[in-house]
Amino acid sequence: MEEKGGIMNFLLIGKPGSGKTTAACTGRHPTLLLDVDGKAGEMQNLRPLVEEGLLTIHTFNAKLVEDRLKDRALDPKKPLRKMPQGYLEVVEYLNRIIDDEEEFQKYNTVVLDSVTRLAEHMKRLLIYHRGQGKFGKGFDGDMNWPSWGSYLANMEELFTAATTMRPDFICTAHELMEVERDPLTEVEIVRGYWALIDGQMRRKLSGYFNETYFMEIRQSKLKPTEYLFRTRGTKYCARTSMELDELEPANILAILKKGGCSI
């Protein structure tokens, strides 16, 4: 098999507890994990990688909003008074990696965990800008609606840059099951499975990545729990550019080897 070089990027989609973060840390080390969810540092199964120097976790602790929660509850249509910093902190840090600053040149893989949480931070920033008069008013005069055009543009720019930078890029996202109710039987029918992210980006996101996998868990009383990548499926936005089975063990390095990529 001819060995392939170059950068690779992966989108891993799954429910909470499905193994997304753990699987994202199985690529070409050393790995830098951008912990937007704020949970990776507490994961015991990642500690050996940290102790061996193979994984560095940078956690972002910014609040979704700086305003007092009581004030937000009492007057939910009132514009935010303080600019949310979460999205700005993450993309500024990511920009330093994209610019290939010396501090980050040792990393072979960068993980963003997760885009679902990062999108929540972005929406709060755009809501703040709307409240400052930088966009038009929202539905029914509610200032707590983001500008969806700006939301989409920021997402497009973010993933165009992140998926073309020097290190491998692995992004996690929570899973959304899209259903519709049959008007005759009132039975809910599953239309598809997507990354949990708002707007047009939900259907565009996977297109930025070489590989998009869904996380699956196979449990048995007789065998240890198996964590798997679903690489394709009728109702899934999973996609692969490699010759892979429909279900593969959730290990990025094994996937790269099977696909003939340099390790």
Model confidence pLDDT, tens digit, residues 88-136: 999 999 999 999 999 999 999 999 998 999 999 998 888 888 777 766 5
Token pair listed for 261: 């990529």
Q: Percent of the chain having pLDDT more than 90?
A: 49
What residue type is 220 in one-letter code?
A: S
How far apart, in whole angstroms, are the C-alpha atoms of residue 131 and residue 38? 28
Per DSSP, the three-state class of 243 is coil
Mean local confidence (pLDDT), 229-247: 89
**0.85 surpassed by pTM:** yes
Token pair listed for 93: 């840090």
Worst-scoring range by mean pLDDT, 57-66, 177-186, 210-219? Answer: 177-186
Q: Would you tell me the crossing angle of helices 148-162 and 115-131 to the nearest 10 degrees?
A: 140
Q: Helical H runs in 136-251?
A: 148-162, 201-204
Per DSSP, the three-state class of 123 is helix
Which residue, 246, 204, 206, 240, is CA-closest to 228?
A: 246
The distance between the two most distant Cα atoms of the chain, rounded to a whole number of Å, is: 64
β-bridge mates for residue 56, sequence order: 32
- What the chain holds in terms of domains, given with CATH numbers, is 9-258 (3.40.50)
